[in-house]
């Protein structure tokens, strides 16, 4: 599915931010483990969480959707070998978290994904799980992932060679589902939704910081039962709305219920340094997650050297940050972002190709981008390839706001994996996106 985006006279209005994809998947898994009746509001009803939901039901969970509420029901039987392969579609988060969760259950299962997911590296989770005592086979470090039954080690300690929230959460879920303790050290702080959820459920978790990084000690303990859980809005989705309002003229947009977890919302810090007119109001906590409402106005942006230390916290937002940098005055430098090469696409390459089509002067680095912005609207004379990557597709549709003649982005079907009704929501604010 190809989509076109055309320039408009600005954006205005308010929108409720779609639910957080990462949190939606985590509460499904941990909520299933609690084995009680739970109603989840704010759940992101999109392809990735739905794949995780179907996989859990195949393992013995009882999860249903009714309108905007997701219900997890008490299980009468323990988790068991699934009747078929667990197909996680395009969800890298789903396959990695479930691999950890299943590894602690002493059951057999095979996890698969679509063509794109089957190219993504899985050794980063398989290697530590193997050290924990699991028998796991892969296709040269990629899906399918075949997990054999058997128990894992108690009191396992692991120092992560590379900072990754998915690896960390994978191991923590293995610990939770097995009832064993684990100590994990990450070299840099990554998103901490799993830790926050465990804390919210009164789990025995100790967090400390040292010269080595951040250490999480998760002890064998029973989590508290809950009857309701509210998922906050997905900052990564809000990022597209924020940048759209910043780069388009005569815009003012209110985005409600945005997750403001400090390990996820680093883009706000960068945009404010670039001169963005952004205000956060109604700050609060929801199920141990920071959230609030964001007011965004059209802004004259300045180029910036993005600090290396913040890159892990903005890794998913770098494509849309690159679009913002394209219309900033001066140069923006992004380095230390080689992780982007192993996302749904090689996002460094994909972003560079999109910038090239926009005639934005830039240099593609081995680990980042140097972007020379322009204050002018751009002419785009060729279709932009999304490489089937939802964040690339949405980023360059947003860029259409500053194109003289509009932009056509190819292969946008995967937008539904993270931001359902993206075109409708953006059009309600004043954009002009159509098939």
Marked catalytic residue, from 293, 316, 389, 411: 316
Q: Give the chain's count of helices (H) and strands (E).
A: 12, 23
Residue 402: how many other CB atoms lie within 10 Å = 22
Q: What share of the chain is helix, strand, coil (3-state, %, to 5)?
A: 35, 25, 40
Contacts of 143 (CB under 8 A, 6+ apart): 95, 111, 112, 113, 117, 118, 120, 122
- Three-state DSSP at 196 gives helix
Q: What are phi and psi of 389, to 5 degrees?
A: -100, 120
| Cα 361 from chain centre | 28
- Three-state DSSP at 198 gives helix
Q: Is the Cβ–Cβ distance between 235 and 264 less than 8 Å? A: yes
Distance CA 214, CA 204 (A): 17
Of how many residues is the chain composed?
Answer: 435
Residue 144 preceded by cis peptide, ω within 30: yes
Burial of 99 (0-12, 13-18, 19+ CB in 10 A): buried
Distance CA 73, CA 118 (A): 32
Which residues in 194-288 belong to E strands, given as ranges? 205-210, 213-218, 228-230, 252-259, 277-286
Smallest Cα–Cα separation from 1: which of 409, 318, 420?
A: 409
Distance CA 216, CA 205 (A): 7
Distance CA 326, CA 318 (A): 12
Distance CA 392, CA 397 (A): 9
**Tokens encoding 193:** 């939704």
316 is catalytic: yes
Q: Is the Cβ–Cβ distance between 305 and 352 less than 8 Å? A: no
Catalytic residues: 316
């Amino acid at each position: 599915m190809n989509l076109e985006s055309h320039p408009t006279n600005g954006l205005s209005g308010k929108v409720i931010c779609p639910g957080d994809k990462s949190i939606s998947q985590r509460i499904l898994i941990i909520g299933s483990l609690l084995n009680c009746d739970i109603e989840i509001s704010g759940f992101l009803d999109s392809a990735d969480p739905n794949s995780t939901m179907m996989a859990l039901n195949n393992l013995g969970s009882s999860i249903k959707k009714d309108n905007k509420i997701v219900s997890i029901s008490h299980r009468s039987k323990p988790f068991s070998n699934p009747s078929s392969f667990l197909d996680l579609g395009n969800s890298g988060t789903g396959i990695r978290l479930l691999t950890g969760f299943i590894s602690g259950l002493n059951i057999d299962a095979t996890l698969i994904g679509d063509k794109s997911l089957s190219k993504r590296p899985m050794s980063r989770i398989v290697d530590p799980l193997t050290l924990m005592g699991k028998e796991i086979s892969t296709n040269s470090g990629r899906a399918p992932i075949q997990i054999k039954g058997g128990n894992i080690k108690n009191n396992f300690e692991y120092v992560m060679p590379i900072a990754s929230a998915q690896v960390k959460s994978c191991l923590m879920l293995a610990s939770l589902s097995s009832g064993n303790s684990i100590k994990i050290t990450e070299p840099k702080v990554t998103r901490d939704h799993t830790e926050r959820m465990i804390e919210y459920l009164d789990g025995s978790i100790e967090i400390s910081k040292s010269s080595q990084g951040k250490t999480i000690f998760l002890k064998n303990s029973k989590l508290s039962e809950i009857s309701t859980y509210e998922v906050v809005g997905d900052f990564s989705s809000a990022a597209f709305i924020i940048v759209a309002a910043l780069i388009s003229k005569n815009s003012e947009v209110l985005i409600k219920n945005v997750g403001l977890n400090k390990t996820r919302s680093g883009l706000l810090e960068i945009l404010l340094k670039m001169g963005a007119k952004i205000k956060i109001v109604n700050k609060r906590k929801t199920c141990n997650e920071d959230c609030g409402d964001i007011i965004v106005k059209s802004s004259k942006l300045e180029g910036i050297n993005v600090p290396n230390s913040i890159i892990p916290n903005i890794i998913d937002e770098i494509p849309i940050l690159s679009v913002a940098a394209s219309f900033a005055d001066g140069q923006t430098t992004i380095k230390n972002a080689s992780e982007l090469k192993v996302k749904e696409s090689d996002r460094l390459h994909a972003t560079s190709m999109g910038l090239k089509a926009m005639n934005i002067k830039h240099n593609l680095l081995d680990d980042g981008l140097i972007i020379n912005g322009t204050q002018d609207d751009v002419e785009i004379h060729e279709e932009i390839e999304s490489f089937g990557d939802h964040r690339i597709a949405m980023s360059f549709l947003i860029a259409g706001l500053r194109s003289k003649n509009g932009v056509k982005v190819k292969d946008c079907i995967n937008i539904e994996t993270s931001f359902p009704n993206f075109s409708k929501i953006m059009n309600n604010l004043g954009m002009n996106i159509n098939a």
